[in-house]
Every structure is written in structure tokens, then in C-alpha cells.
Structure 1
Amino acid sequence: MQRHALASALPCILALSACSTVGDEQASSQPATAAPPPPVAAEITAGATLDAISVTGSRQKAVAFAPPAAMRAMALPPGHWQPANRENYAAHEDNPVHRTSEQPVSTFSIDVDTGSYANVRRMLHDGARPPADSVRAEEMINYFRYGHPAPASLDVPFRVTTELAPAPWNGKRQLLMIGIKGYEVPNATLPPANLVLLLDTSGSMNSPDKLPLLRQSMKQLVNQLRPQDHVSIVVYAGSAGLVLPPTPGDRGGEILAALDRLHAGGSTNGGDGIRLAYAMAKQGYVEGGVNRVILATDGDFNVGTVDQGALETLVADQRKAGIALTTLGFGRGNYNDALAEQLADIGDGNHAYIDSLAEARKVLVQQMGSTLLTIARDVKIQVEFNPAVVSEYRLIGYENRVLRNEDFANDKVDAGDIGAGHEVTALYEITPVGSGAEQLPALRYGAASPPPDARAGEVAHLRLRYKRPGEEDSRLITTPIARASLRAAPSDTLRFAATVAAYADALRGGSRIGDWSWDDIARSAKMSNAGDPQRAEFIGLVETARVLVESDRREAAVAD
């Protein structure tokens, strides 16, 4: 699986001192103006029990992206200090169009992350056009529920369905939707949970949309805990410290009081924090239960273990030992999306971005089962397209999840996991043979046409591999996709998924959606609203994005 490069950073010093509260607890993700860093104090020793952590410094680096000219022109009031923006996103290119006769097989790992959608939403609300690399189409699509049919039991922990219909931006092409739905496990029947909250309390977390929002988010999770669950709290800044040893879930007052004592300060020794968190997870390990570290951070790792290989090995080893890692991103300005997404990928967990208390409720309350309980591991999808029927195909998104074809049946190759009740949606754009909508030039010396009896009734053959928890050998599910399944028009489910894919493409530059405009995306989004609050919010985001993109185009035209 592709791994992202880690961002390099500068070391700083952690300090422990008394300080006042960082700010009122609030769910808002509105920008805040931070005060200049106060003086440095004394260091915390690893393993210490902490009463409070105070602000002692911050780190600056080059600006990764800038907001529109209208915002850039706004002068800060006198006496206000504004940190440099050094958010970090892993570069990726859109998946290419493949000629089926040359490369009929496509293989990728499933992905249940949603962080890109919420992070892009945060930037749009701030009036900034998101950097192209912050937009990952699969995370945009998978943010929403599509009502894919669920399995009847845990015997096969998920159900796979497909739909084939004309592509809305080009009727000569088609969209193939693959939907996966995990078995729903009621929260009350979840196995006992051994959770370690690994919380970033470094100086960069001194902002209302970071540590205060983090505390309030964790409180929502704590309120869902049962007597059989246990939670520990580990914090990290210049050193790592144990704030709360393993504590039963029915002692919520103690857990909440420990969260209230947290304040931000120092540099970011995430490596030591992860090691201590895993040590606590091992100490409280529950056989057959949920064993998971939940890392909440703005993504900075600037002292301690910052080597990419060392971090990968550390997290991968713990994954093999049965301890998963979920990452929750917070804040703006120095958010390290590349690292947060990478660690969750390696740790058999999921990555979400928390931009509001409502998003925290969605991730940690409404979807708690899928966030915590894994029901299928190393889930891989492989589609073999029929060259007699399909001339070209393109996988939409999943660029950093593409696998080599030979990795599909290799059970030693890691892939994504599915949690209880999770939905995963993937889209292929395909070009039928003879449609005239091919995107690749014709070959002068191309291979001969396949024989007419080459399973002409099938568009493709879908194969899926997965492991049940605790098993090392994968199981195989196969199903053909028939030409006769082609619908005259996409269902509401496929139309909305296609609309979200088009929105993601338009944010990245709009090179894959033909003549579709922002008007077309907005019109299609409104057709699929169906009274859903999340879809209604999406319509507003489309309008906001259109204004920002069109403003940038006008400015670029004037500059030329």
C-alpha cells in the first residue's frame, strides 16, 4: 500500500507550569487569533501523572496554501499575532484512464476514512479554496450513507451490491457503483472496549478549534462508555505522560475531570506518546474485545520519533498484536493531514477530521460501533473488465489505496478494515466498446478484437477478499456484473454519489467531468436532497465552493 511521506519539523521544548484555561469550551470551528507564546517553564518526565499542561511555545513553517485574495488583503488588527500556515497534504494525481485490452484488472484496498470531507468543509467555511491535494474523492463519497443493503448475519460480515447506469456528465459512458455494507452491531452489544485516548497537548493545540474542541469531543465518547469498558488517557507534548490509568467506563466523573485538567503547551513528541499509549493498551488488553488507541491531534510530530520507517514499524507491529489506531484531526494552520491519514491507514483504523461538536457526535456517538469495532480486516476489491464490452475504465478516487494485482491474493499485504455498520462506496467510470466516447487515442497496432463469445453478457467480474477478525487466511467473494443490469438512468443513490464525485473533481480543477459545470453539480445535488440534513449542508457547500472557484478564475483572468 502506498505510504505518505512524513513532514519534517523543528524541535521545541515542553514545559509544565500552571496556567489559566485555554478558552471557553465550544463546538464552533470558527478561526481564532492566538496570543503570542508565553515563556518556557520546566519539562515533564515520561510516565508522570499530570495536573495541567501549559502553553510554552509554537512552531512556524512555510505557508502551504493561501486563502483567496479578498482574505489575503485583510489586515490583522494591531497587536494580534497570526501563526504561519503550514498545513501538510500528501500529493496525489487522479487515477488514469486504462485501456481494457491492455490492463483489464483493477485492484485496490477499501477506505472508510472521511477526514477529507470535513476538512474541506472547514476551509470552505473559512472562505478559503482547499488545496487540490486536500481533496480525496473516496473520502468525500464515503462521508455519506447511501442505504446499501445490509447482510443478514455476521456469518458473512458485509454485503456487496452493484449498480450500472449512464454517467451524468457523459451519457455515452457509464458509472459502475460498488457498495459494501457492514453488519450493524448495536452499541449495547459491543464487546468490552479497552480504549487509550492519546491526546496532543502541545503548544500548537492552543486554539478554540483544537484542544477545547478535543476535550468536548472526548466527553461525548466518555458518555457512551459502559461499566465493562475501560479508558486510559495519555498526553504528549515535549514528553509523554499518563493522565489517567485504565478506568472503568462507569466512573465518568473521574474521566471527565481528567479531561478538564488538560491544557496546551510545548513541542510535539508524538513518537513517545504513541509508545506510552500502546504500553497502556497492552496493559489493559481485552481478549476478544475492542483494543484501540484513539489519537487526537493537529498532526504535528516534531521531536522524538519522526522517522517515517520507525513510525510505520511501530504502528504496524501493534496492529499485528491486535491493537488498532484511529486518528482524529483538529484545527487549522499546521494540520498535518498526510501524517494523520497515514498512521490510521497503517494502524488498521480510520481517520476523521473534527471541525465541530456536531462532527464529533457523528464520529464518536452515532457511528461509535463502526469507529471502534472491526468486523472484517484487509478488505480488497478486484474488478476484471471484459474487453469485449468495456473499452476503457477509470477508478474514481482511492489513489493512495491502489494495489498491485498480485497483492489481491497475498494475505500478507495489508488493506483496509470495515467496522460494524460501515458503508463503503466506490465508483468506476467506464467507456463501452463502440460508444465513441473513448478518451485514449486509437492504437495503430492494437490487439485484435476479442472473440464474440468472450462472455459478451458480462461487463466485469467482481472479486473481493477479506479476513474475519482473528483469522490470517482471507475469504473470497465473487460475482459477475451483467450487461443486462444497466439501468436507463441512475438511481437516486448513484446520482448523489456521482454528484459528490463531481464536486470533488471540480474542487481539484474539473478535468474529469466533461462539460458539467458548478450549476450542473448544484442542480444534481438538489435533486438528491430528500430532506437529509447532511445532503442539505452539501448543497450549501457546493454553492460556497462555486463562488470561491469562480472568484479565483476572475482574478486569474485579470492578472493575465
Structure 2
Amino acid sequence: MNRTLLIALSTVVVILLTGCSPNAESPAGSAAADSKPMAQPAREAAKRQMEERDAAMPEPLAEAKPQPAPPPPASPALAPQRQAVSVERAKAAGEAGRVAQFSNFVGQGRLDALRAPSEPTDREQYAHQEDNPVKRAAEQPVSTFSIDVDTGAYANVRRFLNEGRLPPQDAVRVEELINYFDYDYPLPEGRQPPFRVSTELAPTPWNPKTLLLAIGVKGYDLPKTQLPPANLVFLIDVSGSMNSPDKIGLLKPALKLLVRQLRPEDKVAIAVYAGAAGMVLEPTPGDQKAKIESALDRLSAGGSTNGGAGIQLAYNLVREGFVDGGINRVILATDGDFNVGTVNFEALKDLVETQRKSGVALTTLGFGTGNYNDQLMEQLADAGNGNYAYIDTLQEANKALVEQMSATLLTIAKDVKIQIEFNPAQVEEYRLIGYENRMLRREDFSNDAVDAGDIGAGHTVTALYEIALKDSGGALTEPLRYGQPATDATPHGDEIAFLRLRYKQPDSEVSQLLEWPIQRDQMIGSWREASERFRFAAAVAGFGQKLRGGRYTGSFSYDKVLALARDARGADPFGYRSEFLTLVGLTRSLDPGQSGRQAQMLR
């Protein structure tokens, strides 16, 4: 191969030295077109020089043995042009055979393959989380976590699938997939407490030896017309990384959807940041929609990204117009690619945590691909007592900012924590599905200084535990040899678990406690007899776990996910559940090794 390349390059050198063609331009440029043809003695001398060089070559190129196929060319669009130029020069020099070999070498892109690879364009960032482990009730009977109302992971996963690729496992937060959907839980009878808790217990669709315990929380709803006055600041990233149709191009019409819902008593200001931060619209009443939309239309992207300065400015603007008893919120719209100023992840979280103490909440809206920082967007919203949504389409913006406007803007309960204690006399093992980055220590449950998630008006939160009862054959771990044997929990022997929930009123720093026992007689004999909401939530949970590798779902295939979800689709006024069915079918095609087409379907 090296010998062939050396001979080919020598041929090109000869061609260049001999002028390549009678019509070739001289070094003087186009003036050479008027020069006389090469004299006959000069042409003969050049020919003799070529023959002497050829005689010195031990093996002609034309007789070179075929080489293995090379890697695909790095720049295939250049190959035909190079090939045409090389062949033309070869014909002029009478060396068509030799240069055909050289042209083949270049045309196959072997030289291009030697070039250094270009800088990767996909720099998206996701926090790594291991799946929650299985725990034995006799050893660790208590599980504590913060609720989560974010839905950004679902829309982001949808974006990956619609691009024709599977999402990274760390992009899949199963609880956010489950909580993307409304499950029609019963509403609370009043506003004290501000939500109602429902539980359901039935066999697990992917493991007949275990049970799923579903915990559903539904906040009281409030029509948009009854919302308190809103004091909003749109904090918009206009740095160079936002200059694309799926970023600044989608951001403008998305925020206009929210603007069109505002009332005269509401007000909105617009702050932007790139290398520096500034205000582009002073606080403006909600009925001056043309003025607000015009300010959005004038935005353009360019420069570096000083997100920390922008966050500080936005909070200052909200505090200046603070409305007692109203909605005071920063809405941050960005790809999360902060690269100047305060860029340290923990420093940005500390900044937001400090600001939330002033009573100002933070909603984060994520946009774009390639450099998207999902970890930052999700964690900033958590630190800011807010919520996180990923906007991949205008329809998603409509869902988050119009259909769920009350839930997005109005907090009805804050620092909501769930703790469940499993009865070792009844339960062998358990594991919480999702909420990996929301886990709390046992003592955090009663510590009002520990922050937790908030619930908005009309919000739905669902949590699923997979549990193995005693002697069910579903346990995955062995009991400790020297552990104390479980004793009957008399007088609570029929209880599988005990559920506790703590929350604070939005204007209070003292939590309130709610408690419910979960009885064994609540168990439904077959998952087919469970409610539609239970079955659909189980389908979404199975789908999310499979996207994360399916460590605990066994042979539960995408076909089975699809069948379970289709049977439990129920009322679907906005088409979100139907879209889920489409995504499962698409995933089955993208991941044929996991499709389970040959697996036994649900019976």
C-alpha cells in the first residue's frame, strides 16, 4: 500500500514538472494563455525524463494488486472534483493508466481519512443517576423522597425519538415520563388540605410475583381567570448558541402564547443576557400585548453567555415589582449553555437557592439541541421552587404555558415530602421507580429546613413502588444470616405500609403532616382489573425503565408496553396518550433487539 502511494505521488510530481498540458497556465497567471506552445525539443526532453523515472520504478502502478476497501471518505463531495482534475491531467501527459490508479486512491477518500476529526457537535449534558436499588423491608423499612412535577424529560425523550435515535439513558427520568400525563385523580373537597392523595395496589404487569403500589396526589385546580395578579420576568438567553430555529426561533412564539393569556392586572418585564445582561422591556401591563410581543420580535442572538448575571438581574426586577399575595416568578428560557461569568453548576444553584428565600419562584424552559444542558435546567428549577419543561414544539409550549398555566404559575403547596414505612411482616422487598435525584434521608422528612418540591394548582403527581410480599417468590435479595427475624406488627398486621406526607402552605415555613395506612385488602387480584390510570401509568413506567436498560423489567417488551397502554388509553382529549402509543411503536422500530416481537403477548 505504501509502495503504491509513493509511486502515485511520484507520477503527480512528474506531471506537475512537465506542465501537465499544452494549455496549462504559466505561473504568471492568465497571461500565459497568449504564450507560444512548448518547443519540440523541450517536449521530447520532458518525455525522456518521464521514461527514465518510470524505468526506475520496480513495479508499475497499473499492475498493483487490489487493496481492501478503505473507510468512507471524510469529505465525499470533494472526491469527484479531485478525480476529474487528476484524470484530465493524466490524459494530457499520456499517463491515463497510472493516474487512474491514483484517482481511484483519492476518489476513495483515503487522504481525507487521514485528516483530524472535526470537533464533536453534540455536547448535551445529563446528570448520571443509577436506578433506585431493591431494599429489604426488614433492614430498611422507610423510604423518603421529595415530590417532582417536572416533565422536561418526556419532551426531550420525544425529541430524540423523533430524530430517529434512542435517548441517552441519563436523559430518561422515569418519574418525569409518568408525570407528563394527567391521571384524573379525584380532586380535594376544598383547599385545606390543598390536595388529595389516592393509592392503588395491584400485580405488576412485568412481574406477576410482585405488586405495584401507586400513590397519586392531585392539587386543587383554579381557573386562569381566578389566579392572583402575576408579576413575571421573562429572562431570555440571546447568546450566539441560541441562534437557530429550534431555540430563539421557537422561543418567541412560545412566550407569545403565554402573553396572550395575561390580564390587565398582570405585568411582565423582559430581561436578556449574552455577554452581559440588560432589560429590554420595563414592567408592562398584560393588556399591552402588542408592546410585549414587539419586544420579543426584536430579539436576536449573538455573543457569549453570562447566565449568572441575567439571573441576578431578573430576580432584582421581580423584587422591585413584588406583589404581596400574588404570583412572583422568573421564567428562564435558554439552552443552558452558560460559558462566561458564573458558570460553575453549584454556584448557579446557590445563587438561585438564595433568591428563592425572597418569595420569587423560578420556571425553566429548555430549548434546542447539540449543546443542551438538561442537568442545569432541571436542577435550577428544583433549587428555585419551580418547575422545568423542555420545549421541542409549539404544541409543547401550549401545553406548559396555556393548558397548564395555573399549575405552572401558581404554587398551592411547597416543600412536599412523601415517606412510606413498609411492614416487614408483610413486605419482603420494595423499590421506588424513578425519583433517583429526589431521595431524602429519613430524618429530612421532619426537618422543615430541608427543601423539597412544590405543587401547582391542578398538578398531578404519581409515584410507583414495586414490592414483593412475604413468601411471594418475587424477592431478588437474600435475607441476612444474622439479621433479626421480622415479627408481626400487631395491631397493624393487615397493613402493608404506612404513608406520610408533609407540606407547607405557600406563605408558611411550618409543615403540616398527613397520614394514611395502606391495607392488604386494598390489593386487586389482577392488574387487568385495576383502573385505567393505574394501567397507563404502569405502561409509561415500563417504557421508561426499558429506555434506561430494563434492569428490573425482564422480558417486558415494547409490544407489551404498547398493548398495555393501548388498552388503558381511556379519555384522551388532547391526544397525549395517543402520541405516547406512537412513540412506543417508533422506539420498537429503533431498538429491534428489544422489541420482543417474538415474545408472548399479554394475555
Fold match (TM-score > 0.5): yes
Between the two structures, name the one with larger relative contact order (CA 8 Å, sep ≥ 6).
1
Distance 1:74 1:254, change over 3 A: farther
CA-to-aligned-CA distance 1:51-86 (integer Å, 9 cap, x gap): xxxxxxxxxxxxxxxxxxxxx99989969x997110
SS of 2:591 mapped into structure 1: helix
1:446 aligned to 2:488?
A: no
Between the aligned partners of 2:443 and 2:591, the Cα distance in structure 1 is 41
Contact 1:388 1:454 (C-alpha < 8 Å) held by counterparts:
no
Contact 2:532 2:569 (C-alpha < 8 Å) held by counterparts:
no
2:252: which partner in 1? Answer: 215
1:521 to 553, 561, 577: 561
Contact 2:589 2:595 (C-alpha < 8 Å) held by counterparts:
no
Between the aligned partners of 1:523 and 1:134, the Cα distance in structure 2 is 25
Distance 1:388 1:274, change over 3 A: same
Aligned-residue offset at 1:544: 1.1
Contact 1:163 1:494 (C-alpha < 8 Å) held by counterparts:
yes
Contact 2:169 2:547 (C-alpha < 8 Å) held by counterparts:
yes
Aligned-residue offset at 1:149: 0.7
TM-score (norm 1): 0.84
SS of 1:476 mapped into structure 2: strand
Contact 2:532 2:570 (C-alpha < 8 Å) held by counterparts:
no
Letter in 2 for 1:423: T
1:271 to 308, 320, 326: 308
Distance 1:78 1:331, change over 3 A: farther
Aligned-residue offset at 1:478: 0.3
SS of 2:503 mapped into structure 1: strand
Aligned-residue offset at 1:550: 2.1
SS of 1:440 mapped into structure 2: coil
Between the aligned partners of 1:145 and 1:292, the Cα distance in structure 2 is 24
Between the aligned partners of 1:283 and 1:448, the Cα distance in structure 2 is 61
TM-score (norm 2): 0.78
SS of 1:408 mapped into structure 2: helix
Between the aligned partners of 2:202 and 2:408, the Cα distance in structure 1 is 32
Aligned-residue offset at 1:522: 1.3
1:196 aligned to 2:233?
A: yes
Letter in 2 for 1:542: V
1:534 to 539, 559, 576: 576
Equivalenced residue count is: 482
Question: What aligned pairs does 1:546-557 form with structure 2 within 5 A after superposition?
Answer: 546-550=588-592
1:93: which partner in 2? Answer: 130
| Unmatched 5+ stretches in structure 2 | 1-70, 79-117, 597-603
Contact 2:558 2:595 (C-alpha < 8 Å) held by counterparts:
no
Between the aligned partners of 2:207 and 2:74, the Cα distance in structure 1 is 45
SS of 1:181 mapped into structure 2: strand
2:441 to 368, 393, 404: 404
1:310: which partner in 2? Answer: 347
Aligned-residue offset at 1:511: 1.2
2:514: which partner in 1? Answer: 477
Distance 1:77 1:323, change over 3 A: farther
1:545 aligned to 2:587?
A: yes
Per residue, is there more helix in 1 or in 2? 2
Kindly name which structure, 1 or 2, has the bigger radius of gyration based on alpha carbons.
Answer: 2
Aligned-residue offset at 1:207: 1.0
2:393 to 356, 362, 372: 356
Aligned-residue offset at 1:172: 1.4
Contact 2:232 2:268 (C-alpha < 8 Å) held by counterparts:
yes
1:458: which partner in 2? Answer: 495
Contact 2:588 2:594 (C-alpha < 8 Å) held by counterparts:
no
1:426: which partner in 2? Answer: 463
Aligned-residue offset at 1:311: 1.7
Contact 1:83 1:333 (C-alpha < 8 Å) held by counterparts:
no
1:512 aligned to 2:528?
A: no
Letter in 1 for 2:334: T
Question: What aligned pairs does 1:365-376 form with structure 2 within 5 A after superposition?
Answer: 365-376=402-413
Aligned-residue offset at 1:170: 1.1
% identity of equivalent residues: 60
Aligned-residue offset at 1:445: 2.4
SS of 2:228 mapped into structure 1: coil
Question: What aligned pairs does 1:165-184 form with structure 2 within 5 A after superposition?
Answer: 165-184=202-221
CA-to-aligned-CA distance 1:333-383 (integer Å, 9 cap, x gap): 011000000100000000000010000000000000000000000000000
1:243 to 276, 280, 303: 280
Question: What aligned pairs does 1:114-263 form with structure 2 within 5 A after superposition?
Answer: 114-263=151-300
SS of 2:588 mapped into structure 1: helix
Distance 1:402 1:74, change over 3 A: farther
Question: What aligned pairs does 1:62-81 form with structure 2 within 5 A after superposition?
Answer: none
1:493: which partner in 2? Answer: 533
Between the aligned partners of 2:516 and 2:329, the Cα distance in structure 1 is 34
Aligned-residue offset at 1:530: 2.5
Between the aligned partners of 2:571 and 2:452, the Cα distance in structure 1 is 35
Letter in 1 for 2:473: G
Distance 1:142 1:553, change over 3 A: closer
Contact 1:114 1:139 (C-alpha < 8 Å) held by counterparts:
yes
| Unmatched 5+ stretches in structure 1 | 1-71, 555-560
